[in-house]
Amino acid sequence: MKDGTLVIHEIYASIQGESTFAGLPCTFVRTTGCNLRCSWCDTPQAFHGGTRMPRSEVLARALALKTPLVELTGGEPLLQPAVLPLMRELCDAGRTVLVETSGEADVAGVDPRVHKIMDLKCPGSGEGHRNRWSNLEHIGPRDEIKFVLADRADYEWMRATIAERRLSERTPNLLASTVFGRLPPRDLVGWVLEDALPVRVQLQMHKYVWAPEATGV
Ligand code: SF4
């Protein structure tokens, strides 16, 4: 793929549904394509298709939505080389930039001004063997590590990983989510309290806004 173009699934403004930025207005730049196939993936529509655009057009469209916060997401944004200069340009334009990444893609080249929100894939995803552990060397206090949990076994894996990899020493932002409709959040809350685990339990706020019928609200 050429450095000057990106394949884009969609660019739109909404509220940020997850992370420590949850609830804030945010522009989402969703790239096409992912090299993983998590069992519970909720954006399979971004695996294929998309529109190839010059980087300058993606930048202009993201800035035109005027939110202080911009997130690169996917699919997996870091599969496309042009994402790195695009994020630099968004930072240069004064935006707070987030990138949601799978934990498999190499984060070494990401501009240090960008907040990396990096998954560590639990066994229930079916992609746990793809975690690129060397990425942890590039995770600092402004970054966030996210676990998406499908069941109790995933929770226990997360608990062990936090301890063995001393993740709290890298960042205070350890996020624990449940697979929507599969693991009741109240179960996760109970386990976290029982273990006094230093994680932030999060719900996917955008689903309560845009798909309330699925949430029982
Ligand atoms: S890494 Fe993200 S986009 Fe890719 S399959 Fe997993 S959940 Fe879906």
Q: Quick: pLDDT tens for 25-58.
A: 999 999 999 999 999 999 999 999 999 999 999 9
Q: What is the CATH code of the structural domain delimited by 5-215?
A: 3.20.20.70
Sign of CA dihedral 45, 49, 55, 58: negative
Best residue for ligand 1 mutational test, from 18, 32, 102 (most atoms within 8 Å of Cβ): 102
Q: Quick: pLDDT tens for 172-211.
A: 999 999 998 899 999 999 999 999 999 999 998 887 888 7
Ligand 1 centroid to Cα of residue 119, in Å, is: 10
Cβ 173 vs Cβ 167: under 8 Å:
no
Query: Residues lining ligand 1, CB < 6 A?
Result: 34, 36-38, 41, 43, 74-76, 102
Pairing of strands 144-149, 115-119: parallel
pTM: 0.95
Sequence-ordered list of residues with C-beta below 8 angstroms from that of 155, at least 6 positions apart, any chain: 149, 176, 188, 191
| Nearest-angstrom CA–CA distance, 205 and 170 | 26
The confidence band for 2, taking pLDDT boundaries of 50, 70 and 90, is: low
Q: Whose CA is nearest to atom 7 of ligand 1?
A: 41
| Nearest-angstrom CA–CA distance, 42 and 18 | 14
